[in-house]
């Protein structure tokens, strides 16, 4: 029987990747599991014609740093729901992940039953967070303001910001996105305006603050 749902497990730790795979297999819902050990490989699998229906994303894996990787996934693949998998159980990180587009958050200390519950709820269109996390609570003003400004970016602007953070020049970004340098310059100008910063460097510094210490 052909699988009805495809789930991509992206985690660089083989043992935990296997544990997640076992958790998914035990759901018995006609699910196919694909795995990835790096952020770039996960993006490549998401970019396929038949992309996965759900992504389980390790927040800190090769090619990704904290929730910055999450923002890039959400910008490039807005139709694919994401459950963040992280060793970090910090409430602020959980709220930040959900605010930036994650559909769920599962600490790595969670039992298999909690992981299965998270997958089922997100596949059913709900948002899953552990325990009694208050998603409406406000963290420090600076972080909340930065998240609000990032939420104002278009998907293409978010992609450009991620490439700026990688150190790419305008002409390199233009090549990667298949647009003109003038278009990239326009995106950069809009990013600076929306983030309320004066330079590319300041924009990258602000964006990198999101990385935090997630693992």
Helix or strand holding residue 23 (H, E): helix 14-25
Instruction: Judge contact between 116 and 27, C-beta under 8 A.
Output: yes
Chain segment 150-173, per-residue pLDDT in tens: 989 999 999 999 999 989 999 999
CA 3, CA 1: separation in Å to the nearest integer? 6
**Domain check: are 110 and 193 in the same one?**
no
**Domain check: are 28 and 94 in the same one?**
yes
CATH of the domain at 148: 1.10.10.10
**Number of domains within the chain:** 2
**Domain check: are 155 and 65 in the same one?**
no
Chain segment 87-115, per-residue pLDDT in tens: 888 888 888 899 899 999 998 888 888 88
Give first-to-last CA distance, the chain, whole Å.
37
pLDDT recorded at residue 54: 93
Structure tokens at 54: 């759900």
- CA-to-CA separations, 93 to 90, 211, 214, in angstroms, rounded: 5, 10, 7
**Domain check: are 106 and 184 in the same one?**
no
């Amino acid at each position: 029987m052909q699988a009805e749902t495809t789930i991509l497990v992206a985690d660089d730790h083989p043992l935990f990747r296997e544990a997640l795979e076992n958790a998914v297999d035990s759901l018995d819902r006609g699910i196919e599991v694909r795995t990835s050990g790096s952020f770039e490989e996960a993006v490549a699998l998401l970019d396929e014609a038949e992309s996965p229906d759900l992504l389980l994303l390790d927040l800190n894996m090769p090619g990704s740093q904290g929730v910055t990787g999450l923002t890039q996934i959400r910008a490039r693949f807005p139709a694919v729901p994401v459950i963040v998998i992280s060793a970090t159980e910090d409430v602020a990180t959980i709220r930040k992940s959900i605010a930036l587009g994650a559909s769920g958050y599962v600490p790595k200390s969670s039992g298999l039953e909690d992981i299965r519950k998270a997958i089922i709820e997100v596949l059913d269109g709900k948002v899953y967070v552990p325990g009694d996390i208050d998603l409406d609570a406000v963290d420090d003003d600076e972080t909340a303001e930065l998240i609000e400004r990032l939420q104002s970016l278009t998907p293409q602007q978010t992609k450009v910001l991620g490439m700026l953070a990688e150190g790419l020049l305008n002409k390199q970004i233009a090549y990667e996105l298949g647009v003109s340098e003038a278009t990239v310059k326009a995106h950069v100008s809009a990013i600076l305006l929306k983030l309320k910063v004066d330079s590319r460097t300041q924009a990258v510094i602000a964006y990198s603050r999101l990385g935090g210490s997630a693992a």
